[in-house]
């Protein structure tokens, strides 16, 4: 390869030479993680995309920078009302675009803070962090972390009362399917399928078409309810997801929450508050609970793992 061509394909991330990073995942949803306690690392969207490239970079569904909240405008706004939110989860999708939140990413982020010695969290203890999707509180459990994802809401509430608000077309589905749009701080469109074979045959190499789509795009979840749906008071669904700005991922935490919201809504009165969501990368738990003032929140629980650390050359 000649020198000019070599320069053209060399990742721009080489300008971050010497930067320490970790690689982690939550049920297969994987991330490049960078600790930036002094707020000195400005990582561009292009560099994020190249670091997350699975062939020429480290590889990941996104990049998470751990930065003190006081060093970001968004973080300072959060600190004004939540002074305990010392750390901010600065998250970008794998294509470099900013994202409000990532449920699996939050768990991995906290696990990373502990591994780096930037925070302490005993079993049963809680930690408050800032995100672009608001303040999140994380509890350390026996086998992972549980995150209060905050309140959910329908993106098109009037249409949601009719049980669907959009149509979704995807490669592998013969006809467009009705869907329900749910916000978990970031946008989701949930499609129910009847059979696991339909879920298997749906091809998510390209983004599904959503009509109408939320203003800033959307993540699309395809979900098959278990038969029976509820066992011992817990509902079970199986899910695949195409994430906005990423493509199909092994798991999506906010997507699992949105899927549980939609299936619970469709199931009607008597549907459970506890759910098990099976994704290609494993299983996460979703639980609904009411906070002071009567607003309903969603808790997401599951594992988090750091698989490697290194330094960019």
Catalytically active residues are 102, 252
Question: Which tokens is 280 given?
Answer: 């290609």
Place of tokens 């008597």: 270
Per DSSP, which regions of 7-100 are E strands?
20-26, 29-35, 62-68, 87-93
- Phi first, then psi: give them for residue 289, nearest 5 degrees: -150, 155
Contacts of 209 (CB under 8 A, 6+ apart): 168, 169, 170
For residues 36 and 116, the answer to whether their CB atoms sit within 8 Å is no
- Which tokens hold the place of 287? 């639980």
Q: Please list the residues that pair with 300 across neighbouring strands.
A: 147, 286
The two three-digit tokens of residue 298, written as one number: 């969603």
Q: Is 298 helix (H, G, I), strand (E, B) or coil?
A: strand
Q: What is the rounded distance in angstroms from the CA atom of residue 102 to the CA atom of residue 56?
A: 24
């Amino acid at each position: 390869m000649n020198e000019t061509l070599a320069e053209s394909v060399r990742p721009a991330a080489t300008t971050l030479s010497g930067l320490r990073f970790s690689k982690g995942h939550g049920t297969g949803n994987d991330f490049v993680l960078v600790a930036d306690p002094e707020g000195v690392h400005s990582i561009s969207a292009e560099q994020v995309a190249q670091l997350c490239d699975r062939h020429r970079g480290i590889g990941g569904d996104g990049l998470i920078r751990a930065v003190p909240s006081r060093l970001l405008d968004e973080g300072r706004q959060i600190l004004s009302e939540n002074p305990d939110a010392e750390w901010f989860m600065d998250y970008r999708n794998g294509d470099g675009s900013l994202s409000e939140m990532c449920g699996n990413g939050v768990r991995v982020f906290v696990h990373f803070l502990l591994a780096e010695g930037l925070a302490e969290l005993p079993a049963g203890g809680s930690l408050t962090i800032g995100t672009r999707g608001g303040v999140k509180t994380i509890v350390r459990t026996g086998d992972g972390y549980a995150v209060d994802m905050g309140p959910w809401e329908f993106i098109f509430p009037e249409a949601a009362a009719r049980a669907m608000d959009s149509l979704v077309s995807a490669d592998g589905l013969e006809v467009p399917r009705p869907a329900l749009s749910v916000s978990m701080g970031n946008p989701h469109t949930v499609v129910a399928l009847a059979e696991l074979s339909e879920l298997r045959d749906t091809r998510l190499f390209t983004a599904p078409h959503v009509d109408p789509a939320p203003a800033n795009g959307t993540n699309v979840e395809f979900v098959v309810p278990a038969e029976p749906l509820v066992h011992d008071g817990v509902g079970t669904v199986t899910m695949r997801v195409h994430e906005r700005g990423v493509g199909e991922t092994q798991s999506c935490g906010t997507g699992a929450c949105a899927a549980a919201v939609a299936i619970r809504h469709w199931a009607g009165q008597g549907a459970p508050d506890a759910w098990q969501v099976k994704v290609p990368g494993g299983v996460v738990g979703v639980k609904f609970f009411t906070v002071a003032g009567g607003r309903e929140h969603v808790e997401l629980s599951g594992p988090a793992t750091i698989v490697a650390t290194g330094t960019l050359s």
